Amino acid sequence: MRVLVTRPLEDARETEAALKVRGHDAVVAPLLFVNFHDGPEIDLAGIQAILATSANGVRALARRTGRRDVPLLAVGPQTAEAAREAGFEDVKSADGDSIALTKAVPAWASAEKGPLLHASGAEGEGRLAKMLTAAGYCVRTEYLYDVGAVTELPLAVRNELAAGRLDAILLFSPRSARIFADCVVSAGLGVEASRLIGVCISQAAATALAPLNLRDIRVATRPNQASLLECLG
């Protein structure tokens, strides 16, 4: 299959490689781009563990501290792998979403042993910190990056859609799904996009595709790349 990958570039390259292993061709066209925030070194003194809910959170934190000895609790396998690549020594994965990470934290950290630091994006909804605070933990949130969005599909992608040369699109968030739908509608390519299979990381992402009449919408059984690729077939 010929698959459109709309993740930020560094993540998209990882997905492109995974698709290639499975015999698919990837068309990489990021709809989102990451802006890392500059600033002083992040103070990790007294921090019991780091909470990471995205690979970009790990990358942003790694730019702002040289320490790699603080345990890092990752939301899922891609985030955990990014942490290991960045050199963090003690990495654990909840293999799920923020709710799964909240449930996993008590097995790895005690509320009495010090605060947790959440390496977050500026758009972070704060659900993780709220749930853990309610469970008795002290959570310090550092907003280390933001994610911008394009306002239109690249010309090459519009041409691919118009020519019917795309079979599927992978959507890793409700936001990327909304942006894709908006861009398709504004480009007048709704009919052409109706040939696509939409493979979504969550039901919320699938719902965001409502303006488009895709020929099939599939939702991953778990919120990670491996499950998305299983849905693709």
pLDDT tens readout for residues 186-211: 999 999 999 999 999 999 999 999 99
Domains 2-32+149-232 and 44-146 equal at CATH topology level? yes
Confidence at residue 223, expressed as pLDDT on a 0 to 100 scale: 86
CATH number of 2-32+149-232: 3.40.50.10090
Residue 144, SS3?
Answer: strand
Distances (CA, A) of 187 to 161, 181, 197, 215: 11, 10, 19, 19
Whether the pLDDT of residue 27 is over 90: the answer is: yes
Residue 205 to residue 209: CA distance in whole angstroms: 7
Confidence at residue 44, expressed as pLDDT on a 0 to 100 scale: 97
**Extents of the domains making up the chain:** 2-32+149-232, 44-146
State the pairing for strand pair 32-36/139-149. antiparallel
Confidence at residue 173, expressed as pLDDT on a 0 to 100 scale: 92
Residue 166 to residue 163: CA distance in whole angstroms: 8
Residue 59 to residue 38: CA distance in whole angstroms: 12
Residue 129 to residue 87: CA distance in whole angstroms: 25
Confidence at residue 42, expressed as pLDDT on a 0 to 100 scale: 97
Domain topology for 44-146 = Rossmann fold (3.40.50)
- pLDDT class for 22, splitting at 50, 70, 90? very high
pTM for this predicted structure: 0.84
Read off the pLDDT of residues 113-170 as tens digits, 9 standing for 90 and up.
999 999 999 987 788 999 999 999 999 999 999 999 999 999 999 999 999 999 999 9
Whether the pLDDT of residue 175 is over 90: the answer is: yes
